[in-house]
Amino acid sequence: MQHQEEHTTLASWALAIERALLRHDVDTKAMFAELGIDYQQLCEPEARLPTRVMWTIWHAALQQTQDDAFGLQVAQGVFPTHLNALVFALQASANIQECIERLIRYSRVVSTIGQIEFEHRGGQIILGLNAPDMAQGPWMPIDAFMALLVKFIRDFLTPEHYGLLQTVTLIRPVPDNQQAFADYFKCELQYSSACNKIVASDALLNLPLPGANSTIAKVNDQLLQDYLQKLDDQSFSLAVRKQIIAGLGKDQLTQEGIASALNMSGRTLQRKLVDEGTSFKELLDSIREELAIRYLSIGDMSISELTFMLGFVDQSSFSRAFKRWTGTTPSKYRKQHTS
């Protein structure tokens, strides 16, 4: 399991929070600015935020609204595009069972902090949210996610099937605004439970969905699989590479400095890199090599400027490193690749 600080959530989830806040006449741009959050980043389709940052947004939302049922309002106002391609894939599923299978498979697209679990026994299906790390955060994101699951299911049903949803259990304590929860879920509610789960009749499973379309489902499956692959590729060494590139040409480009930027000790950073088969020195060296070759091939930057940009103390140090990488000097390499 990931450490809580490493968990991430789709940044566009914050736009769903904003949409609900606007109904309370909250100045959301000012709120995000006060929290130190770049609003433009939230609008990037594939951007993610650390879950701890998302929690600060939820806490601020509660302060603004003073309504502990606010998470339900967020779920009610979610746009399909707030959740990447997930909603479109669910809507195009053949039946509820296929929909649940996709939800389990792709839930990490929304957030890495929780896992969807499914159980089928005794004529009932149990859909649960296993998210032990969320006990450290506010209740509202759990309320919102569970409410969203119920909304997804109800949107696929006709009114005569609404009664197939039997019980919703929540870890959270009894809310102040109990009526809002009763009005939203419209089924038996249990608070202070051992887990967050939805219990329904298994008659749901084979109900056909009105938007079933296997072609559209496959297209969105591919989009979601591609997104998860990108997410998995965001390794720790990649995070260190980004910090190194941002720090090139500045003073104090050291292992300790990069570690501090990533909120850890230099020893922890080195251990994590060793776990991925690399080291700070190797990453710095490979980045310098890649950038040197790229800029010398373009031919627009002088060798002295490139020396400074890559963080070498002098041009002779750069030349020695470059000859080690390529077997030739920077000036000879430029001539060979720009003539």
- 34 and 157 together in one domain: yes
- 218 and 245 together in one domain: no
Residue 199: band (very low, low, confident or very high) from pLDDT cuts 50, 70, 90: very high
Least confident among 66-75, 140-149, 243-252, 262-271: 243-252
When divided into structural domains, the chain yields a total of 2
pLDDT over 60 (residue 208) = yes
- 174 and 240 together in one domain: no
The beta strand positions in the chain, using DSSP E, are 8-10, 48-50, 115-121, 124-130, 165-169, 188-190, 196-201
- 121 and 33 together in one domain: yes
pLDDT over 50 (residue 1) = no
Q: Give the rounded percent of residues in the chain with a pLDDT score beyond 70.
A: 95
CATH number at residue 296: 1.10.10.60
Is 333 or 97 the better-scoring residue by pLDDT? 97
pLDDT over 50 (residue 336) = yes
Gyration radius of the chain over CA positions: 25
- 15 and 40 together in one domain: yes
- 36 and 182 together in one domain: yes
239: which residues sit within 8 A by CB, 6+ positions away?
262
pLDDT over 90 (residue 335) = no
- What's the rounded mean pLDDT across residues 322-333? 91
- What's the rounded mean pLDDT across residues 7-32? 94
Q: What is the pLDDT of residues 264-300, one digit of tens each?
A: 999 999 998 888 788 999 999 988 988 888 788 766 7
- What's the rounded mean pLDDT across residues 141-163? 93
How high is the pLDDT of residue 5?
40
- 127 and 242 together in one domain: no
- 323 and 179 together in one domain: no
- 249 and 191 together in one domain: no
- 162 and 93 together in one domain: yes
Nearest Cα neighbor of 19 from 69, 61, 67, 74 is: 74
* 283, 286, 292, 294: CA torsion to nearest 10: -110
- 41 and 165 together in one domain: yes
Residue 184: band (very low, low, confident or very high) from pLDDT cuts 50, 70, 90: very high
Domain final residue pick, 171, 201, 229: 229
- What's the rounded mean pLDDT across residues 118-126? 95
Domain final residue pick, 229, 252, 279: 229
Q: Give the rounded percent of residues in the chain with a pLDDT score beyond 90.
A: 62
Please give the residue range of the domain that contains residue 274: 236-338
Domain final residue pick, 205, 229, 253: 229
How high is the pLDDT of residue 6?
60
- 258 and 145 together in one domain: no
Nearest Cα neighbor of 90 from 7, 148, 142, 143 is: 148
* Joined tokens for residue 334: 């430029």
pTM for the whole structure: 0.69
How high is the pLDDT of residue 299?
65
Q: What is the pLDDT of residues 21-36, one digit of tens each?
A: 999 999 999 999 888 8
